[in-house]
Structure 1
């Protein structure tokens, strides 16, 4: 499974995002090269309007359940409405470095 393609095509098809950024952050963790296990997804969609954060995350997790049952170990979700995205200055906080494995 090409995880990035799966995430992008699934979210594009179901949530019609205004902005979608899918980043493989596996290289930042103690995993084999090419693991495709750690992902950061920033998605801006009108479909999140009126939904609490937990509802947004559940919606995305449900859509991506196939990948979550397989190669994806960690999924960092940043879910916004277009208005929220504008107020944030169209940016998210950088991911922290891995604290696990033998990288300590």
Structure 2
């Protein structure tokens, strides 16, 4: 089971990956939206903001998200680490229900380029 520190590290790596991307991926990540990532097996939620092609993690707290972020992700810690490392395909994980992604329709259409 992934630890809270490993999950935070995975989010930092994801942020670095987004910042280093180009083309359609960079354009898709250029949103300015609140973001939450609920790690279900640890019952912890990381909150922050997707801004300028980076994820700025503000912190974490126990339990589900306290406030409704514009982009919401929910998954296990192991799946978060596997997604960021490339060992788990996002589209397959999402289609099978291992990962939940919730956002407005416009944001979902834009974020699909990241998948």
TM-score (norm 1): 0.27
The structure whose RCO (Cα within 8 Å, separation 6+) is larger is: 1
- Structure (1/2) with the larger strand percentage: 2
TM-score (norm 2): 0.25
